Structure 1
Amino acid sequence: MQKNAPIGVLDSGVGGLSVLKCLHAALPQEDFIYVGDTARTPYGPRSEAEVRRFVGEIIDYLAGRGVKLVVVACNTLTVLGVETLKGGHPFEIVGMSKGAELVLAASPSKKIGVFATEFTINSGAHKAAILAKDAGADVYPKACPKFVPLIEGEQFGSAAVREAVAEYAAPLKAAGIDTLILSCTHYPLIQQEIEAEFGSGVTVIDPADATAQDTQAALAAQELLRADGVGYLEVCFTADMKRGARIASRVLPAADCEFAEIKL
């Protein structure tokens, strides 16, 4: 592995752009290649076998681009077990932080909500991680299947988004949560709407910053951190590049990005 090699970042669509933003902020000297599988999103309702095949294709592509590490910027994929996604590739794979310590530190009452995809919620991984840190916590998971299609469809600030947020928030508000973790990387793209629905009494946590810290630590442990320079952002999609670029411009400095549509 070479220090000057790029870092790969992958997601089922545009959601991982929220993680790329945090990675770029934490590691501005590094080069990044992002792959969003917009041709086949959403992954949440798909079978595990199908999801694993898709991820394997993306990781093979990134390996061909000579990356030194891959960040799986998707909670649905992370719960599969990042080591099981590695195949025979030599680079390390970093998954999304489950954010257990973050939410417990932010929650006075230890009543914690989890917004995620159906796949992630059904895995029980985030609830288990929180309870492993504090068995006395009350965790309220809620699958939000309408969110990803709305976000991928650029329905930001729309009535449809507000209605979906209100629907999924209702049982968590009734339970009296004081902290909510966004356990899907798409969801920070509508964090404003989510925070507005819950109000100031609920702290909304995005675990992307913790994932960026995990990535920095993994590179440092392998002595693969670049010491200086200004990195580039290559943002690739498997379909609808112009739409992806528009969404990317909401969270990234678009002038610093090079966009491309690729085939896997």
Structure 2
Amino acid sequence: MLNKNAPIGVLDSGVGGLSVLKCLKELLPHEKFIYLGDTARTPYGPRSEKEVRQFVGEMLDYFETQGTKLVIVACNTLTVLGVDTLKGNHEFDIVGMSKGAKLVLNASNNKTIGVFATEFTINSGAHKAAIMALDTAATVVPKACPKFVPLIEGERFGSSEIADAVAEYAVPLKAAGVDTLILSCTHYPFIKKEIEREMGDKVRVIDPAEQTALDAQTVLRKAGLLSESSAGQTAICFTADLARGKRIASRMFEVASCEFRTVSLG
């Protein structure tokens, strides 16, 4: 039997999911959260699907030991693998990243939509399919951005490398005349301002993390699992580089009240 005052788990291969945790904390301030970033084994992109599934299984097993009532897969690449296939025998439900199809279609005037994502996510075609399923007249311009995650994980914020990478990846989107761009990787909101600056004020940049938080709230409400606690708590865990993780978290939200710890998996 799940406990409504139990914590919510949030997992990612690294620090990107902290952008999702920010939205969750803002929408559900009375909840307890445990964030787990597998920084010892990031990035997951070059690894085999079998290996990635093993790693996710280990993170879910960890959340089982913590008594979590719900787990958010705060990573588009992992969500593409299929949330239902990741659940296994765990009692808690799992919520994956929203593809943001409705968000971008509602925001777009010319129905020409850009997608920034990892190569794995772009190659899956999932986001393009989700948008086209809702509007067959839409034009989707996908662009893989392999330089972004290493630069963000390496804390190269404000650097010329990030500015150059953003400019490079923006070229085909500008040429196609997109008026809306969805950030389909949880790392990318860390450089949202740089992306907005490059794309210009006529292009709306969408972060699907907000919809993901709403999806989580809906699941909890339907299950009668919204917390009755008067105050929320947050524990942020990494499998390596705890100090770096804390620095990056501080760019997203106030960390003074958060507990930070290193955990071992496997």
Determine if the TM-score, normalized by the shorter chain, exceeds 0.5: yes
1:166-177 aligned at under 5 Å gives the runs 166-177=167-178
Tell me how far apart the structure 2 counterparts of residues 229 and 11 of structure 1 sit (CA, whole Å): 27
Give the corresponding residue for 2:130. Answer: 129
Percent of aligned positions with the same letter in both sequences?
70
Structure 2: 5+ residue stretches without partners: none
1:66-81 aligned at under 5 Å gives the runs 66-81=67-82
Paired residue type of 2:263: I
Give the corresponding residue for 1:119. Answer: 120
Tell me how far apart the structure 1 counterparts of residues 41 and 170 of structure 2 sit (CA, whole Å): 27
Q: Report the Cα offset of residue 252 of structure 1.
A: 1.6
Tell me how far apart the structure 1 counterparts of residues 133 and 50 of structure 2 sit (CA, whole Å): 28
Give the corresponding residue for 2:263. Answer: 262
Off by >3 Å, runs of 4+ in structure 1: none
Greater mean alpha carbon deviation, residues 220-229 or residues 130-139: 220-229
Q: Is the 8 A contact 1:12 1:36 kept in 2?
A: yes
1:75-90 aligned at under 5 Å gives the runs 75-90=76-91
Q: Is the 8 A contact 2:5 2:228 kept in 1?
A: no
Tell me how far apart the structure 1 counterparts of residues 69 and 256 of structure 2 sit (CA, whole Å): 25
Greater mean alpha carbon deviation, residues 45-54 or residues 111-120: 45-54
Give the corresponding residue for 2:224. Answer: 223
Give the corresponding residue for 2:98. Answer: 97
Tell me how far apart the structure 2 counterparts of residues 164 and 47 of structure 1 sit (CA, whole Å): 26
1:216-255 aligned at under 5 Å gives the runs 216-255=217-256
Tell me how far apart the structure 1 counterparts of residues 120 and 66 of structure 2 sit (CA, whole Å): 29
Question: Could you tell me the TM-score, scaled by structure 1's length?
Answer: 0.99
After superposition, the C-alpha distances for 1:188-225 in whole angstroms (9 at most, x for unaligned) are: 00001101110101100000110000000000111000
Q: Report the Cα offset of residue 44 of structure 1.
A: 2.1
Question: What is the DSSP-based 3-state SS (H/G/I as helix, E as strand, rest coil) of the residue aligned with 1:204?
Answer: strand
Question: What is the DSSP-based 3-state SS (H/G/I as helix, E as strand, rest coil) of the residue aligned with 2:225?
Answer: coil
1:136-151 aligned at under 5 Å gives the runs 136-151=137-152
Paired residue type of 1:109: N
After superposition, the C-alpha distances for 1:211-250 in whole angstroms (9 at most, x for unaligned) are: 0000000001110001341111100001000000000000
Question: What is the DSSP-based 3-state SS (H/G/I as helix, E as strand, rest coil) of the residue aligned with 1:255?
Answer: coil
Q: Is the 8 A contact 2:5 2:229 kept in 1?
A: no
Equivalent pairs counted in the alignment come to 264
Tell me how far apart the structure 1 counterparts of residues 47 and 108 of structure 2 sit (CA, whole Å): 33
Tell me how far apart the structure 1 counterparts of residues 202 and 161 of structure 2 sit (CA, whole Å): 24
Q: Report the Cα offset of residue 45 of structure 1.
A: 2.6
Tell me how far apart the structure 1 counterparts of residues 163 and 127 of structure 2 sit (CA, whole Å): 25
Give the corresponding residue for 1:182. Answer: 183
Q: Is the 8 A contact 1:44 1:120 kept in 2?
A: no
Tell me how far apart the structure 2 counterparts of residues 118 and 42 of structure 1 sit (CA, whole Å): 12
Q: Is the 8 A contact 1:45 1:118 kept in 2?
A: no
Q: Is the 8 A contact 2:235 2:259 kept in 1?
A: yes
After superposition, the C-alpha distances for 1:123-155 in whole angstroms (9 at most, x for unaligned) are: 100000000000000001111111000000000
Report the RMSD for the aligned CA atoms in angstroms: 0.7
Structure 1: 5+ residue stretches without partners: none
Q: Report the Cα offset of residue 51 of structure 1.
A: 1.1
Give the corresponding residue for 2:211. Answer: 210
Paired residue type of 1:221: K
Question: Could you tell me the TM-score, scaled by structure 2's length?
Answer: 0.98
